[in-house]
Amino acid sequence: MKTNAAVLDAAGAAHRISEVDLAGPQAGEVLVRIVASGVCHTDQVAQEQMIPVPLPAVLGHEGAGIVVEVGAGVDDLQPGDAVCMSFASCGRCRECLRGRPFLCLDFNLLNFSGRMRDGTTRLSQAGAPVSVFFGQSSFAAHAVVNRRGLVKLPPDADLNQTAPLGCGIQTGAGAVLNRLRPEFGSSIAVFGCGTVGLSAVMAAALAGCERVVAVGGKQSSLDLALELGATHVVNRCEFDDLGAAVKDAGGGLVDYAIDTSGASHMVRAALASCCPGGSAVVLGVTGELTINVQQELMGESKSLIGVVEGDSVPEVFLPKLIEYQRLGRFPFERLITYYPFEEINAAVADSAAGRAIKAVLTFG
């Protein structure tokens, strides 16, 4: 079939909306009509080729939509079902079999190589292959996705809202709820007040953290953090020593810290803000980091942890987040700004500039 997609032709180029060919679903796959797709920082990293996805490619990995057709062997979904998309995993390696698909041994191959698990792509243009991203490529009106990358939603789900759950929101919330699992009454600092960081703030409040310190550089985002559950905020533009600033915000170092920025100096600040025995989590795409292991890590028995996709099993975790949203305890809809699909480049620019916390593209 033919469908419209945002094609990325070169590193740093704008997305080009044009018609592409999309092959039908093979065994274990599902054809989905996209209703909405979040714009994630990981898309931007791939657009700049910090993650070297083969080009041309169709990016997008926070899709939500309606099932159109199912391939052989898919017996728990049918046309008309509402679904949310998340990351790809093999389902066969030791980590997938242990219920940890976020650690799939083929994670990079399935999500960033530009190919599906059979080594081919369902997308093409003028007879030439076009790379798939995260096993979905949801910057398109339709996508073919492996069943493992889909979460079935209730029939009344608002797909415009649920789209960004599949990566950014589950990453921030999952880092708190699935990995750190903070004790009731504990303290946490969150560095970065974008989608991932504010999702972590909401999760920390949900978990019963007594002190939640949000660190960011945009006053409007810090104000929103306070509304979403932060007890204290630190404007990083006003301090040179962010670790000390977090300590002063509410009195004392924190039990946990999360960096979502991907900046090495922010990771060090997150680690410095932790009390002895504390844990700092890295969620952003981060380059080289130099630390004094004795003084900054081992000497105070701290932990520095990398977390992928919030340690989430999407089919288990995302319905929980939707239910907490329904109860008014995880209002992630407040992060969203909507853009028509045709305005994808404006959505990307606004996301990069901080004018939109979570840009979501809508399709007709």
Would you list the DSSP string of 123-182?
EEETTEEEB-STTT--SBSEEEEEGGGEEE--TT--HHHHGGGGTHHHHHHHIIIIII-P
pLDDT for 35: 98
Cβ partners under 8 Å of residue 335, min gap 6:
164, 169, 195, 198, 199, 357, 358
Any domain includes 109:
yes
pLDDT digit string (tens) for 196-250? 999 999 999 999 999 999 999 999 999 999 999 999 999 999 999 999 999 999 8
pLDDT for 250: 81
Pair (198, 263) in one structural domain? yes
Any domain includes 313:
no
- Average pLDDT for residues 95-115, to the nearest whole number? 97
Q: Is 233 helix (H, G, I), strand (E, B) or coil?
A: strand
Closest CA to 39 of 305, 364, 346: 346
CATH number at residue 187: 3.40.50.720
Pair (75, 207) in one structural domain? no
Pair (219, 291) in one structural domain? yes
pLDDT for 227: 98
Closest CA to 225 of 279, 188, 254, 256: 188
CATH number at residue 161: 3.90.180.10
Pair (73, 177) in one structural domain? no
Pair (158, 196) in one structural domain? no
Pair (159, 36) in one structural domain? yes
Pair (179, 151) in one structural domain? no
- Average pLDDT for residues 27-53, to the nearest whole number? 95
Q: Band of the pLDDT at 285, cuts 50, 70, 90?
A: confident
Q: Per the structure, how many domains does the chain have? A: 2
Q: Band of the pLDDT at 361, cuts 50, 70, 90?
A: very high
Pair (181, 135) in one structural domain? no
pLDDT for 287: 84
Place of tokens 């714009």: 39
pLDDT for 251: 85
Any domain includes 314:
no
Place of tokens 């007890």: 231
Q: Band of the pLDDT at 338, cuts 50, 70, 90?
A: very high
Q: Is 254 helix (H, G, I), strand (E, B) or coil?
A: strand
Q: How many CB atoms lie within 10 A of CB 248?
A: 14
The DSSP symbol for 262 reads -
Any domain includes 180:
yes
Does pLDDT of 53 surpass 90? yes
pLDDT digit string (tens) for 187-200? 999 999 999 999 99
pLDDT digit string (tens) for 112-145? 999 999 999 999 999 999 999 999 999 999 999 9
pLDDT digit string (tens) for 304-332? 999 999 999 999 999 999 999 999 999 99
Any domain includes 322:
no
Does pLDDT of 181 surpass 90? yes
Pair (30, 152) in one structural domain? yes
Does pLDDT of 81 surpass 90? yes
Does pLDDT of 276 surpass 90? yes
Any domain includes 143:
yes
Pair (152, 175) in one structural domain? no
Pair (17, 46) in one structural domain? yes
Does pLDDT of 337 surpass 90? yes
For residue 65, the cross-strand partners are: 34, 83
Pair (210, 162) in one structural domain? no
The residue segments making up the domain with residue 155 are: 2-166+331-362
Does pLDDT of 269 surpass 90? yes
Does pLDDT of 364 surpass 90? no
